[in-house]
Structures are given as structure tokens and as C-alpha cells.
Amino acid sequence: MPSAASPFPDVSITGTGLFTPPESIDNAELVASLTESALKWNAEHAEAIAAGTVDERPLPDEEFIEKASGIRSRYVMEKSGVLDPARMRPLLERRSEDQLGIQAEMALPAIREALAQAGRTDGDVDAVIVGCSNLQRAYPAVAIEIQDALGAAGWGYDMNVACSSATFSIQAAVDALRNGSANCVVVVNPEITSGHNNFELRDFHFIFGDACTALVLERSDESVSTTSWKVLGTKLATKFSNNIRNDFGFLNESEVGDRDPHEVVFRQNGQQVFREVCPLVATHITDHLGELGLDADAIRRFWLHQANLKMNQLIAKGVLGRVPDDDEAPVILDEFANTSSAGSVIAFHRHRADLAPGDVGVICSFGAGYSVGSVVVERV
């Protein structure tokens, strides 16, 4: 935790930005699509279902989705393919190598909004860190493509810690600023989760949405922003688990034997994740606050990963000793669904303007890995 006596310079978040995709799917549309798909699949496999060699696909329920998750809708980069019962995934045009990639395309408006808040321009950027749960290619790095599109100097790289990618990227940015390897770092989270979601199965089809967030980080004494947030501390942790998994990778085509196609998209053991992750995250936040000499009651707002409303309530209760109100732990997943690493940053982006100088908040993400990251910030 930097202070007047610390050898490390203070670092601040000086701007945030959000790109919201042009199309949205509500729960009713999603349920109608999966119902048609599941009925067709069940009819085609009726004999195997009767023989007990395959399981019948259960039909989705609109009321269940909102009750179980708090999600009402989600934004997507392309909806016609998702809602097509014969396709059930986005319908995206392949781009040539001389065209800007789709993740870079959605990143630029988010970055430029963040830069405008920070009082900076494209040319001020000298580091770009892309953190997201899925990258459209192995290389060249999307971050370097974004760097080129901005006309920025310095360096860039991609990183993936699933839903915790934003907080892990923030710590990397803080470290770069403190060690002098960058002066103006952009952290950007271009999440096209509709590309890895399993829209064919009831337990998963409603979970994810697309979005892109961006943050600008600078050394505090160099900030020209009127709404800076000093980073009081960051804390990261990981613990291996297969309960959230996606096996898509470059070795798929080299492996011997057939693979279930549902293994190369998102899958999870939801109940086990709920039981294990909630106490893990609550303890992580509590320990982090203790390390910074802060009491939970001193935290004005929690910007939590937007995966599931009940999870967020239970985590915040584990920290505060009570269920938080919407002001203390704002929710955006009802509109956006789970946007992976972007979720906690969307909450921070949308729900921080009313806080006063001196107010302290926690940006926290958690997810596959398991992974959890927390960033404690103070309004300057």
C-alpha cells in the first residue's frame, strides 16, 4: 500500500470506458430459441432417450432464469445466429488480415471514452494490456493490434485469467507504472462471451453477454483527471479447479479420439462453484482489507464480478455480516448478464460518480481457475 513513506509511487485509475454491443437478447427470446432446438433434438434422439443411452434435453424456463441468476437480458455482437435453433452461436463474418479484428474494433471506443475522462489522447498511451476470457487468435496479440490502431508507442500483451482478467491486468498495470516501464497504461477487456457460451443446454444458455471495458492508469502525481481513483492495494489469488472449464485450444485438432463438442465451450459444475467460490472470495476481500488496515464498514461500495446475484449477495454478506443494499453492491448483470472480466469494471464505470473524495471501494472479480482479484481504490 503506497504512502508518503513508501518507495513506490501512488497509481490511480484516471478514466474508464464501456462499449456496449448493438444487439440485445432478452430471456423470452432465448427461451423460445432453445425450446425449439431442444424439442427437435429430443425428437431426433427419441429411441436413444427411451433406451436410456442418452439423456433428454430439458426445456428452458424464463422465470427460472431470472430467479436463479438475476439476469433479464444480455448484449451480443450478433444475435441472429444465437437465436437460430439450427446454429445456436453468433454468425460472424470472417475478416481479412488487413481489416481491424473484432476485439480491437470493440476496444477502441471503450478506450477513447476512458482516455477522454483521463484528459489523455491516443498518443499518450505507452502500454496496452488486453485481459479477457477468450482471445480471437493466438498471435499476434490483440493488444498490439490495438496499440497500432491507437498509434501508441511502448508495448502491449494479452493475458487470460478468465473472469478475473481485469483485476489481474490492473495489478500488472500498477506494477508497470511503479517500476517505470510505462507512464500511461490502458487495460482493456473485450469480452465476446457469446462465442464460448453453450446456447444448446438449459443450464448454461442464459449466463453470458458481450461487452468491452477499458481503464486508464497513471502515476497519481501525473494525473490530470478530475475524477481519479487512487489504488490503495491489489491482491490476487488462484486455486486450481476443473469446476469451470473450457477445453478449446490449439491442440484440439492434434488429439486422438473424438471429443464432445460441449467440452470446447464453457461448462461448469454450478452448485460446486457456488459452495466453494463464495467463501473463498469473502475471505479474500476480508484479508485484503485487513492488510490495508481497513474495516469492512469503511467500504462505501463493492463493485463485484457480475456472475450471479445470489453469489454477490452471499459474498458481500460474508464481508459485511449482512446482505448489502443495491447502493453498496450495485448490480448490472440484470441488463448485461455475465460479461466475464468486464462485469466488475462495468459496475465501477456506471456506479461511482456519486461517491465523494475520500470514499473507498473494492473492485473484485472471481471465476475460473479458480481465480480471485481485488483492487481497493479511494476517490481522490
pLDDT tens, position by position, 88-132:
999 999 999 999 999 999 999 999 999 999 999 999 999 999 999
The band of 73, judged by pLDDT with boundaries at 50, 70 and 90, is: very high
Residue among 11, 15, 376 at smallest CA distance from 216: 15
Give the type of residue at 329.
A
CA dist 180 → 8, 174, 233, 299 (Å)? 10, 10, 18, 30
* CB proximity list for 292: less than 8 A, separation 6 or greater: 1, 232, 233, 376
369: left (phi over 0), alpha (psi -120 to 50) or beta: left
Concatenate the DSSP letters of all residues of 148-185 into one string.
HHHT--SEEEEE-BTBTHHHHHHHHHHHHHHTTS-SEE
What integer pLDDT is reported at residue 225 of this predicted model? 96
* CB proximity list for 380: less than 8 A, separation 6 or greater: 12, 220, 223, 228, 229, 230, 357
Strands, E assignment, the chain? 11-19, 23-26, 73-76, 127-131, 155-159, 184-191, 211-219, 229-238, 244-245, 267-268, 299-304, 360-367, 371-379
Phi (first) and psi of residue 343, to 5 degrees: -60, -50
Angle at 206 between CA 204 and CA 208, to 5 degrees: 90
The pLDDT of residue 34 is above 80:
yes
pTM assigned to the model? 0.94
pLDDT tens, position by position, 341-365:
999 999 999 999 999 999 999 999 9
The pLDDT of residue 3 is above 50:
no
Angle at 236 between CA 215 and CA 135, to 5 degrees: 55
Tell me how far apart the alpha carbons of residues 311 and 325 are, in angstroms, rounded to a whole number: 14
What integer pLDDT is reported at residue 6 of this predicted model? 66
Is the model more confident about 249 or about 47?
Answer: 47
Phi (first) and psi of residue 269, to 5 degrees: -95, 90
CA dist 184 → 299, 301, 344 (Å)? 28, 26, 22
Going by their DSSP bridges, the two strands 267-268 and 244-245 should be labelled as antiparallel
Three cell numbers, residue 23:
444487439
Residue among 278, 274, 246, 238 at smallest CA distance from 262: 246
pLDDT tens, position by position, 217-260:
999 999 999 989 999 999 999 999 999 999 998 888 888 888 88
What integer pLDDT is reported at residue 184 of this predicted model? 98
Percent of the chain with pLDDT over 70: 98
Residue among 37, 85, 31, 36 at smallest CA distance from 60: 31
163 assigned to active site: yes
What integer pLDDT is reported at residue 162 of this predicted model? 95
Identify which of 3-7, 261-265, 335-339 has the greatest average pLDDT: 335-339
pLDDT tens, position by position, 135-151:
999 999 999 999 999 99
**For the chain, which domains are there?**
229-379 (3.40.47.10)
Decide: residue 133, CB within 10 A, 0-12 exposed, 13-18 middle, 19+ buried: buried
* CB proximity list for 256: less than 8 A, separation 6 or greater: none
Which residue out of 132, 163, 184, 212 is catalytically annotated? 163
The pLDDT of residue 194 is above 90:
yes
Per-chain mean pLDDT for the chain = 95
Tell me how far apart the alpha carbons of residues 177 and 109 are, in angstroms, rounded to a whole number: 24
